[in-house]
């Protein structure tokens, strides 16, 4: 019998491999925005989130306010709150408050996806396995990306800068094909973002993302309220 912890480790291997390359791109971006390797790895170890970290280093580089940082993280990572609500319904009886506090650290898009696909209730040990190997991949990739940025040719590191954004495209496009709501929301968000960037450049990047996202999601919720089943399947 495999222990729940090692099953979690095993299930986490594909996540860790994916994270390795994506966080490699993050490491490159971070160093390019003026951060050291140590700081980049610290950010990855404490945040464990691609979109939030990418926005975070942009705010640091631009010298944005702490308020802007907090609000940006709130809006960008709001989806984790939804995933946490969903996963909280699936925890076994031994999941006491300290364990919840620990596991909450590791709720990401991919970990959520794997955990919610499990049959039956989730144990804390399984989640520890899943989260620890994924976090290891995330931090190792950041370290390699940040340090290799100095040794690899610029043509290669430049090309790696697109990795995170390409992953975001891969998350958005498939549901946008199936749901008019997701398509409308994405197009609206893109238009708003372009508007802020080119017509209202005085609004900083973090706020532009917040405003664009909230406007698009509110319009989506009003015009295309989701069916109950759709809202329950919160894979993002």
Partner 1 sequence: MTLVIYIAVMAGMTYLIRMIPFAAFRRQIKSRFFRSFLYYVPYAVLTAMTIPAIFYSTGSVETAAVGTAVALALAYFDMPLIVVALAASAAAFAAGFILPFLR
- Binding residues for partner 1 restricted to 172-211, rule: CB under 8 A: 172-177, 181-182, 185-190, 192-194, 197-198, 208-209
d(C-alpha 141, C-alpha 46), whole Å: 14
With residues binned 3-state (H G I as helix, E B as strand, rest as coil), the percentages for the chain, rounded to 5, are 80, 0, 20
- Residue 198 tokens read as 């080119």
Quickly list DSSP for 139-208.
HHHHHHHHHHTTTS-HHHHHHHTTHHHHHHHHHHHHHHHH-HHHHHHHHHHHHHHHHHHHH-TTS-HHHH
Where in 19-38 is the site for partner 1 (CB under 8 A)? 21-22, 25, 29, 35
- Residue 31 tokens read as 């160093």
Among 5, 7, 39, 118, binds partner 1 (CB under 8 A): 39
Scanning 48-56, 115-123, 130-138, 143-151 for contacts with partner 1 by CB under 8 A, the matching segment is 48-56
Does 148 participate in binding partner 1 (rule CB under 8 A)? Answer: no
* DSSP structure class, residue 122: B
Question: 1 vs 222, which CB is nearer to partner 1?
Answer: 222
Does 81 participate in binding partner 1 (rule CB under 8 A)? Answer: yes
d(C-alpha 212, C-alpha 19), whole Å: 27
Q: Report how many residues bind partner 1 under the rule CB under 8 A.
A: 104
Residue 228: CB minimum distance to partner 1, A? 8
Does 43 participate in binding partner 1 (rule CB under 8 A)? Answer: yes
Residue 6: CB minimum distance to partner 1, A? 23
Among 74, 92, 121, 180, binds partner 1 (CB under 8 A): 74
> For the window 93-112, what string marks contact with partner 1 as x by the rule CB under 8 A?
----x--xx-xxx-x-x---
- Closest Cα to residue 27, out of 35, 105, 125, 188? 35
- Closest Cα to residue 96, out of 106, 104, 107, 108? 104
Question: 6 vs 121, which CB is nearer to partner 1?
Answer: 121
Scanning 3-11, 135-143, 144-152, 154-162 for contacts with partner 1 by CB under 8 A, the matching segment is 154-162
Question: 9 vs 57, which CB is nearer to partner 1?
Answer: 57
- Closest Cα to residue 21, out of 132, 130, 161? 161
Residue 227: CB minimum distance to partner 1, A? 9
């Amino acid at each position: 019998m495999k222990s729940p912890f090692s099953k979690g480790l095993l299930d986490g291997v594909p996540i860790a491999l994916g994270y390795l390359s994506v966080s490699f791109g993050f490491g490159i971006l971070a160093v390019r925005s003026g951060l050291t390797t140590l700081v980049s790895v610290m950010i990855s170890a404490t945040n464990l989130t691609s979109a939030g970290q990418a926005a975070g280093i942009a705010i640091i580089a631009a010298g944005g306010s702490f308020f802007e940082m907090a609000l940006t993280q709130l809006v960008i990572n709001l989806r984790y709150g939804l995933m946490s609500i969903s996963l909280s319904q699936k925890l076994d009886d031994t999941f006491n408050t300290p364990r919840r506090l620990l596991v909450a650290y590791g709720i990401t898009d991919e970990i959520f996806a794997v955990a919610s696909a499990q049959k039956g209730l989730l144990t804390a040990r399984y989640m520890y396995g899943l989260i620890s190997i994924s976090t290891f991949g995330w931090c190792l990739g950041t370290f390699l990306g940040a340090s290799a940025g100095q040794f690899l040719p610029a043509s290669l590191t430049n090309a790696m800068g697109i990795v995170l954004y390409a992953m975001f495209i891969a998350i958005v496009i498939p549901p946008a094909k199936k749901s008019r709501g997701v398509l409308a929301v994405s197009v609206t968000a893109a238009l708003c973002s372009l508007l802020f960037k080119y017509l209202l450049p005085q609004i900083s990047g973090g706020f532009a993302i917040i405003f664009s996202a909230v406007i698009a999601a509110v319009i989506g919720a009003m015009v295309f309220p989701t069916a109950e089943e759709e809202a329950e399947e919160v894979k993002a």
